[in-house]
Amino acid sequence: MDIEFLSAVRALPLRREAELKTALSELLTRTSGEGPLTIKGVRDRFSAVNRLAKSGQIQVVKGTPGDETVIVSMNDLAAIIRAAAASMSFTDALAVAGFVPIKHRLLQSEGFKRDETLVLDSVDDSAVLDTAADPESAETTALAL
């Protein structure tokens, strides 16, 4: 996929839907070079159109404004989505997700109290050796502890 095309995708006005459609249409028309294909044209030479799309040349099929059809390979679609996501600011993404800030301040409480419930005691070495040598006494030792 053409790097200039991906750069142009990053510059699209993602938050303004009407402007986005216009800008996207202009970009795709410019990229496809020959202008939108007719439905008949696509039908008559679909293999060639498909091959061009697979090779990274996006194909636009004529339609009423906003209803044009775009033929794009899966690889290129993934690249376009990545490029669009990279251009989106965090607050833009939040707005898309429907986030509305609540005009109310929340404060995190801080404070440090050492956990006294955990213990690291010293162990009698001889008891450990006995345990290793005699598995039966291990149970006894453990119970005694």
Residues in contact with other proteins by the rule CB under 8 A: 85-94, 96-112, 115
Q: Provide the minimum distance between the beta carbon of 9 and other proteins in the complex, in angstroms, as a whole number.
A: 14
SS3 61: strand
Report the distance separating Cα 5 and Cα 131, nearest Å: 71
8 A C-beta contact, residue 66 and residue 21: yes
Q: Provide the minimum distance between the beta carbon of 113 and other proteins in the complex, in angstroms, as a whole number.
A: 8
CA atoms within 13 A on the CB side of 98: 0
Closest CB to other proteins among 115 and 121? 115
Closest CB to other proteins among 25 and 87? 87
Closest CB to other proteins among 10 and 62? 10
8 A C-beta contact, residue 98 and residue 22: no
Q: Provide the minimum distance between the beta carbon of 122 and other proteins in the complex, in angstroms, as a whole number.
A: 20
